[in-house]
Amino acid sequence: MAGLEELKKKLVPLFDAEKGFSSGSSLDPSDSYMLSDGGTVNLLSRSYGVYNINELGLQKCTSRPVKDVDETEKTYQCASHEMRIFGAIGSGASSVVQRAIHIPTHRIIALKKINIFEKEKRQQLLTEIRTLCEAPCYQGLVEFYGAFYTPDSGQISIALEYMDGGSLADIIKKQRCIPEAVLSRMVQKLLQGLSYLHGARYLVHRDIKPANLLVNLKGETKITDFGISAGLENSMAMCATFVGTVTYMSPERIRNESYSYPADIWSLGLALFECGTGEFPYTANEGPVNLMLQILDDPSPSPPKDVFSPEFCSFIDDCLQKDADARPTAEQLLSHPFVTKYEDSKVDLAAFVRNIFDPTQRMKDLADMLAVHYYLLFDGGDEFWHYAKSFYNESSTFSFSGKESIGPEDIFSTLSNIRSTLAGEWPSEKLVHVVEKLQCRAHGEDGVAIRVSGSF
């Protein structure tokens, strides 16, 4: 109890004796939504315009003078009926994430589903969609493909790049720490993403942590989860809300002071300390009050100088300055010796990620998804059948009953004839009766060869 009383004295604006810790006010008090008779959700924000979302996709309508091309109206065609949903990837306090295939492109994506009828979740949804619309495709940030509304469930689904290597949190669960050379190459991409968020979009992420730093089997590292990011009017503006994960929160945020981009730098430094050393530097299992007192009162953690390189220690020390003004920017950190040290080295990030996770099992999972997707196209209606053509390129071959077809047009014509013949013989039955066996192996640089045995 003494620790709680001590913290309350330090955090008077933050703590309410009856209600506990305040989560802060929302970014925009007028943020709300309307649901039209036609099934379109209008997410309203006085500051950032209107986002119209229905079963066919998302349209952003600006409500303020356009200063650059990124603030103009945007449309994302991403329809609910074009998704083939598979199993869940994970879930959190405000959302569920599922794997899916976008039928027109055959792209495997991550679908993040959020219920719009809960105010807190709706505010996070609006923030995330706004952030993703402003930075839809930039190195170091998970790519945004669009969003759609499903009236039956009252959920909005956000379509995101599928990162098949998991997160840095997953990696350090499997392997206690990440080697410096690998971490350096990963950090460069993360800093590029943060530099863009801070310098070009005036956004503070506010929840940088290992679980929100994702990797794919190509070795690319990207930032995700923008549900509580905050928009600032310019590079000098400040935030004044208490949201995010306390574990990686900067001292100025814990003190409930105004904060800005340096708060993300502290969180990144703490996350990298954990990934590099294999240990979180504070005692986190004695409750949030004790943890916050440690962050405020203890000296900033520093990696052991006799174990880690001077460059890594210097990088962490720079990020974990108690004085926010003393922390370098993301752009400045891109020139730090820890980042530049391994620029010309042949660090194989893809090989590192593949050694952590079983690529054979992941390849099998993806092969299963693609095979199911392919045969459901074959079995389905004519609305989507024409998309099967894009499975093939000019060098593709297909053999059936002694006849060889070459290229997408020829193969699609042959398959269409087979499909029509089978449908004529069994008009009320599924065309693909049994998939008996599925085999897969790596093919080329990034491909997979899938062999399916079965019967029509």
Binding site residues for ATP, as ranges? Answer: 112
Which value, to the nearest 10 degrees, does the dihedral of the CA atoms of residues 365, 369, 371, 372 take?
130
Pairwise CA distance, residues 279 & 301, whole Å = 11
**Coil/strand/helix, residue 209:** coil
d(CA 197, CA 15): 30
Angle between helix 310-319 and helix 262-277 axes, rounded to 10 deg: 140
User: Token pair for residue 238?
Assistant: 């400040």
Let me know: does 270 contact 248? Beta carbons within 8 Å. yes
Distance CA 218, CA 183 (A): 15
State the CB neighbour count (10 A cutoff) for residue 200.
Answer: 13
Q: What are phi and psi of 164, to 5 degrees?
A: -85, 5
Kindly state the tokens that stand for 14.
């933050």
Please tell me the total number of residues recorded for the chain in this structure. Answer: 456
Indicate the SS3 state at residue 141.
strand
Q: What is the DSSP letter of 27?
A: S
**Cβ(367)–Cβ(359) under 8 Å?**
no
Burial class (CB in 10 A: 0-12, 13-18, 19+), 364: middle
Cα–chain center distance at 376: 28
Catalytic residue among 31, 164, 207, 264: 207
Q: How far is CA 182 from CA 240, 312, 317, 350, in A?
A: 35, 12, 19, 10
Task: Confirm whether 207 is a catalytic residue.
Answer: yes
Q: How far apart are CA 146 and CA 143, in angstroms?
A: 10
- Whole-angstrom distance, CA of residue 328 vs CA of residue 336: 10
Residue 378 near residue 391 (C-beta atoms within 8 A): no
The answer to whether the CB of 226 falls within 8 A of the CB of 126 is no
From residue 159, alpha-carbon distances to 95, 102, 398 in Å are 13, 9, 33
The catalytic site residues sit at 207
